[in-house]
Structure 1
Amino acid sequence: MKRSRIGKIVGSVVFAVVFIGLMGYVVMRLWNATLPLIIQGVSAITFWQALALLLLSRLLFGGFRGPWNKPGFGGFNRDQWKNRMAERWQQLSPEQRERMRQRWGRRCGSDDEARPDDSTKDVS
């Protein structure tokens, strides 16, 4: 049983390394085949620069979502959490909301006067 578990871990690591390497190679080839020809002054990149570009684009545009952010994983999902907090906020009385705003304002250092209460908004 230990061998199969270790084998799965080693297989997963090998697959991840191969997949990341393949993605870096694809990014490098696509960059080098298109951008230097389309945009003057853009030079070809190396494999390691392609991996860095892939990582940067993942950080900027995709994030690193793991299984903890998918529905059904331990009952935790970011969207479910936001919805649950919004429902709880709606159930608070106006006095409780104001106390909560003041408490969080003191914690976060925001000015309570700067943000009007949503129940007293001027509708014109």
Structure 2
Amino acid sequence: MKKIFFARPYRFIFFPLAAAAFLSLISFIVMHLWNYLLPGLLHVDMITFWQAMALFVLCKILFGFGGRGKFGGGAPCMRQKMEERLKHMSPEEQQRFKEQFSNRMCHKSGHWGRRDWFGEEAKQEDKKAD
């Protein structure tokens, strides 16, 4: 067994309860928005809490969960900033930046999967310079 299970057993209770509470809150909001807006606008019937939950889950299945995915996605302004930043770099700098970015974003290490921007190599280079 992993050490995490024994060190933090509250996670296995808290996260499912938090997910159920979040789903309930979203379903409650969907139900009230539907019942407030659509019967007057489109002359549809009012829905129950369970129908609102099913509608929310169905929409998430059909339209996605809002993740950026590995390719594309993300905020267009961030993509433009990154393209602008890469334009002003030499090919060697671009390659180094892409490697460091993929290491930072694709490999989990440290707390919550975060890494330092330049990784261990830059720290060692800074120590050598001192």
TM-score by length of 1: 0.49
State the structure with more CA Rg.
1
